[in-house]
Chain A
């Protein structure tokens, strides 16, 4: 099963434990996390369903470039890191 690992910074605002999912795409994997904690959705996605500009996602070490469709494939071995993008000051 793919593993979703969330930045510990999110714990300041809402629960974001590690999630194991058999989802085959990034979006369905994220939906699995949102079903466990619906509040998490608005922290990662805007109301149009796009990844927030300052959130970065890596799948097996590779940055996800598409922030709209979020349909990158996952495998049963995928490690997905959801991080804060470096920005601001």
Chain B
């Protein structure tokens, strides 16, 4: 039974606990500090929290299973920039935008994606980090650009549960990239995506795609879902090809997507009206769900605010638990909602939280 979830917010990390069938907010860590990302590692029960201290930089903390305290560990950092380097990007981590566990067969491996768009790997539970030079040095990186930020960033990391050397990352805006050899080499993996925000002759360019979020299914790992800047895409072959899904009601613009862990044809989205108007359609919050691979969708509204609601759900603001039924969603205006029936109905956890950057179940 799912008993705990985490809410990473502009003003701290909140614990959400279930006791006697009732969910309630519990202890708060890092009160007042921006927590840009949180990761619960099912392999050893540890939780990782990425901080973005306003004055003192990016920090990473870990709480081990059963521990009462958080411990500061190493944060991803770029190597010293060579003096003759012409890269206009500052080699300074602005914040950690994604964290992911390595495979079950590689205990202690953690991946981190940052702004600017670096991918880091730790083999020792965050005691040290190594920049994936193979991706950072790709010549195509010079054409990446920021989506929502003035530098590109890595927000999605999908590790193939069948083969830990097989990893796909999503970049705003730099498309999707995949490695089949544990990071020794990378190649673009956004074939089929389409960028409507660029001149038509660049629309199919894999390297300029803006996948807002890419998630995979635990038990059917070939199935990936992508909430893209101008639509929804899915892949049936771990990103080798992508097919656009156009049946979603209300809007195909949004940031968040969650996929059922056992049923890869089931996914949830939190649509916003449009790129230019980032509010729920008709100011009424709705989650859309498909259970047939995107052929049809259901608009889910029960329990969600339907009047004067301007909440926007960011990339990591929607999560589904291992049971495939418990969903947690949180917004940039501090709304937090929980569903225990796959999104059919929701209840409000809070409507006055700080802006939420990420949620996850443990």
Interface, chain A (partner B; CB < 8 A) = 9-10, 13-14, 39, 42-44, 46-50, 52, 54-55, 84-85, 87-88
Contact = CB atoms under 8 A, between A and B. Distances in A.
Q: Interface size for chain B: under 10, 10 to 19, 20 to 34, or 35 or more residues?
A: 10 to 19
Given A39-B72, A42-B75, A42-B77, A47 B93 contact: yes
B54 A43 contact: no
Interface stretch (B55-63, B161-169, B184-192, B245-253): B55-63
A87 B72 CA distance: 25
Interface in B57-102: 57, 59, 72, 75, 77-81, 90-93
B55 A85 contact: yes
Contacts, number: 49
Given A39-B72, A47-B92, A88 B80 contact: no
Contacts of A87: 54-55
B262 interface: no
19 contacts: A10-B56, A13-B56, A14-B72, A43-B53, A43-B56, A44-B56, A46-B92, A46-B93, A47-B78, A47-B79, A47-B91, A47-B92, A48-B78, A49-B80, A52-B56, A52-B57, A55-B55, A87-B54, A87-B55
Nearest to B51: A13
Contacts of A84: 55
A50 B81 CA distance: 12
Interface of B: 53-57, 59, 72, 75, 77-81, 90-93
Contact of B57 (A9, A43, A49, A88): A43
A52 B55 contact: yes
A44 B56 CA distance: 6
Nearest to A43: B56
Contacts of A13: 53, 56, 59, 72
Contact of B55 (A9, A42, A47): A9
B171 to A, nearest CB: 21
B80 A46 contact: no
